[in-house]
């Protein structure tokens, strides 16, 4: 049996391809929800991290330190089997919230360091010209901050797609769990897992492609 026949037998003839698509859609749902929520929470934590209040800065710093230093799988198990065990929440919601928390800590620190790296003289010049603090931030600091943060942010998004491969531990049938089930059923782990790795690789480069297209569009508009 050649490789083409083997792939057909494993992924097409028994309908495994459609199961993979369902697992891929589950992975995409969790990832997208986590990115959106995690980015919003990260922005809010960054805001607290840059306040004048020592108490707020300390709380935000502790939040970032705890979540950045905690393995995401352990956090997922804690929230699913511990904190929300009797809350009746869907496992997808708990998983999305878990990854959002983890991502938010990285985003918050990324935004804080990006703000610190912006050109302060331009902000002072804008204030001298009569810009309000918000206008100076929106027109001067924000564009610089986003430009500095973008390369690292896109890597965080790609990493999050990869982190979701552990959601099978909380009974979610995602892409990784589907691939593992197919490998067990067909007794062809090498081929099946290799295909799964290439799917994740495709997802990663799709994300990089989206960021690259947005950058290209931005240059064309400029």
What tokens does 184 get? 């067990």
Average pLDDT (82-99) is: 94
Encode pLDDT of 103-130 as tens digits: 999 999 999 998 888 777 777 777 777 7
**16 and 10 in contact (C-beta within 8 Å)?**
yes
Encode pLDDT of 52-75 as tens digits: 899 999 999 999 999 999 999 999
pTM: 0.87
Cβ contacts of residue 171 below 8 Å, gap of 6+?
A: 91
**82 and 100 in contact (C-beta within 8 Å)?**
no
Mean pLDDT of all residues belonging to the chain: 89
State which of 10-14, 95-99, 185-189, 214-218 shows the largest mean pLDDT. 95-99
Please give the Cα distance from 44 to 118 (Å, whole number): 19
Encode pLDDT of 162-216 as tens digits: 999 999 999 999 999 999 999 998 888 898 999 999 999 999 999 889 888 877 7
Determine the pLDDT at residue 221: 63
**30 and 174 in contact (C-beta within 8 Å)?**
yes
């Amino acid at each position: 049996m050649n490789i083409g026949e083997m792939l057909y037998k494993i992924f097409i003839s028994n309908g495994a391809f459609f199961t993979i698509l369902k697992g891929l859609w589950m992975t995409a749902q969790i990832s997208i929800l986590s990115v959106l929520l995690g980015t919003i929470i990260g922005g809010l934590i960054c805001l607290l991290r840059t306040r004048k209040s020592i108490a707020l800065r300390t709380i935000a710093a502790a939040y970032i330190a705890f979540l950045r230093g905690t393995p995401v799988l352990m956090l997922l198990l804690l929230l699913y089997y511990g904190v929300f065990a009797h809350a009746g929440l869907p496992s997808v919601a708990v998983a999305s919230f878990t990854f959002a928390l983890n991502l938010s800590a990285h985003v918050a620190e990324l935004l804080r360091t990006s703000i610190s790296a912006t050109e302060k003289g331009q902000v002072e010049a804008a204030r001298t010209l009569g810009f309000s603090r918000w206008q100076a931030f929106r027109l001067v600091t924000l564009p610089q901050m986003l430009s500095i943060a973008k390369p690292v942010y896109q890597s965080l998004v790609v990493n999050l797609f990869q982190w979701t491969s552990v959601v099978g531990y909380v009974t979610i049938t995602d892409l990784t769990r589907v691939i593992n089930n197919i490998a067990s059923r067909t007794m062809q782990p090498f081929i099946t897992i290799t295909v799964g790795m290439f799917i994740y690789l495709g997802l990663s480069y799709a994300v990089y492609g989206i960021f690259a297209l947005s950058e290209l569009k931005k240059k064309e508009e400029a």
